[in-house]
Amino acid sequence: MLVNGAWTEIQGSKSFAVINPATGEVIEHVADGGQAEARAAIEVAHDAFPAWRATTAYARSAILYKAYQLMLDRKEELAQLMTTEQGKPIRAARTEVQYGADFLLWFAEEAKRVYGETIPAPRGDQRFIALQQPVGVVAAITPWNYPISMITRKVGPALAAGCTVVLKPAEATPLCAIAIFKILQEAGVPAGVANLVTAADPRPVGDEFVNNPKVRKLTFTGSTAVGKMLAGQAAGNMKRVSCELGGHAPFLVFADADPVHAAKGAQLVKFLNTGQACISPNRIFVHRSIHDAFVDTLASRAGKMLAGNGLTDGVAIGPLVNEAAVAKVAAQVDDARAKGAEVVCGGERLTADGLDKGFFYAPTVLANIDPEMTIYREETFGPVAPIMAFDDDQEALAMANDTHYGLAAYVYTRDISRAMRMFEGLDFGIVGINDINPSAAAAPFGGIKDSGLGREGSRKGIAEYLETKLGGFSV
């Protein structure tokens, strides 16, 4: 753990193991913090806040820019660590390191663009000035599926705004967090400004985050159930909250689309990170006239994806995060099969060639999905592509919106009018039109409904860490 600029060594039995999900082997042990450690970190972040807030935007920008450069210098080292700890194929890990670094670069610039305004007053002897000021101590909780970029997407704007931070990373991926905080420290972030508390049990740390009055902002990425619980508790203490939660993304392929091209796009985004992405398509709706061609192409491509340790050349499918994740995927596939779905490819755990030591599930394509199946309603977070046929635009839109989630959606069509209707009609915070990667540091990321509150990235990302103060002057 990093508290007040000092790294805590493991003391006695207060540690927990970090497991390689591809092999089941222990990589390392890290310090196991709890409520007391979280409270101490919050205290030093609170004490460090006045001085950090008083630094110029240019000084904060320079530190973030140096951290960006250090991340790029260590890109391969960070990617190797991520693949070992989290499991994603090395090419995807390299892409994530670059994506994560981009947030530091973006917010290094946004730090210098936090503007106030003057407002015309109704009286001649009155002047109004509005300022943007940092909210204070930020408590951040990040997930295991993107263990580097989710940190920089929160810590970058918080530091740029002049806030201090206490981060609790996912218990499955603390090593990536440690590596990033070492970079922040080396880049010149002062002691106490960025603090890291690793913990095997997130509950005591989360309780401290939502109940400690010195925490003025909570930012969380994770499950909808946990996000709702934390947001509810934080509301009792009037804390600012932003949450990026679960998704149940629809992928709509219309009759005028090229089914082969659309299937290639679906494969790339569906099986990204072994399906362990909140923007991963979970319901694929294909017009009946091109349904079979789409299914054949997707199944053919999915069936050729090599599963294994992400450090091995050619591997495209890594492990799931743990045994519970495998069980959840298997249960959804079994439920769909029992209710009439066709398993076009996959549909089983992978155990051959040493994969039994890890948490692997075959890339799976299911056809004949219907709303009675669990997979139609619940997020899978695994390498399963469920497909349904539709007959007209309104039917497709209604099925796509038939969910309490609202993070990402995808549309394939050559008709600009249909594309605009879908963009406006889909109840989701992000819509990719013939685009499977509608995300960048410069673009606002976030959902509606049960998929979250607030936005990350873009100029809106730093606004989540600022308060507006009005000054009224009598002259």
d(CA 94, CA 80): 8
Determine contact, residues 351/249, Cβ cutoff 8 Å: no
Confidence at residue 12, expressed as pLDDT on a 0 to 100 scale? 67
Architecture category of domain 249-433 in CATH: 3-Layer(aba) Sandwich (3.40)
Among residues 278, 345, 379, 456, which one is catalytic? 278
Confidence at residue 10, expressed as pLDDT on a 0 to 100 scale? 74
pLDDT of the chain along its 475 residues, tens only? 999 999 987 766 699 999 999 999 999 999 999 999 999 999 999 999 999 999 999 999 999 999 999 999 999 999 999 999 999 999 999 999 999 999 999 999 999 999 999 999 999 999 999 999 999 999 999 999 999 999 999 999 999 999 999 999 999 999 999 999 999 999 999 999 999 999 999 999 999 999 999 999 999 999 999 999 999 999 999 999 999 999 999 999 999 999 999 999 999 999 999 999 999 999 999 999 999 999 999 999 999 999 999 999 999 999 999 999 999 999 999 999 999 999 999 999 999 999 999 999 999 999 999 999 999 999 999 999 999 999 999 999 999 999 999 999 999 999 999 999 999 999 999 999 999 999 999 999 999 999 999 999 999 999 999 999 999 999 9
| Segments in 162-258 forming alpha helices (H) | 174-187, 202-211, 224-235
For the question of residue 345 being annotated catalytic, the response is no
Confidence at residue 184, expressed as pLDDT on a 0 to 100 scale? 98
**3-state secondary structure at position 164:** strand
Q: Give the DSSP letter of residue 378.
A: S
- Cα of first residue to Cα of last residue in the chain, in angstroms, is 52
For the question of residue 278 being annotated catalytic, the response is yes
Fold match, 2-245+449-474 / 249-433: no
Instruction: Give me the long-range contacts of 220-224 (CB less than 8 A, separation at least 24).
Output: 220/140, 220/141, 220/244, 221/141, 221/142, 221/143, 221/150, 221/154, 221/245, 222/141, 222/143, 224/405, 224/450, 224/451
Determine contact, residues 384/332, Cβ cutoff 8 Å: yes
Confidence at residue 16, expressed as pLDDT on a 0 to 100 scale? 95
Distances (CA, A) of 12 to 9, 30, 230: 10, 12, 31
Looking at domain 2-245+449-474, its CATH class is alpha beta
Task: Count Cβ atoms below 10 Å from residue 369 Cβ, excluding itself.
Answer: 22
Determine contact, residues 233/37, Cβ cutoff 8 Å: no
Spans of all domains in the chain: 2-245+449-474, 249-433
Confidence at residue 9, expressed as pLDDT on a 0 to 100 scale? 79
Confidence at residue 116, expressed as pLDDT on a 0 to 100 scale? 96
Confidence at residue 382, expressed as pLDDT on a 0 to 100 scale? 97
Among residues 37, 85, 208, 244, which one is catalytic? 244
Determine contact, residues 412/257, Cβ cutoff 8 Å: yes
Three-class DSSP labels, 317-328: ECCCCCHHHHHH
pTM value is 0.96
Q: Considering only CA atoms, which of 17, 181, 176, 219 is closest in space to residue 88?
A: 176
Task: Count Cβ atoms below 10 Å from residue 188 Cβ, excluding itself.
Answer: 14
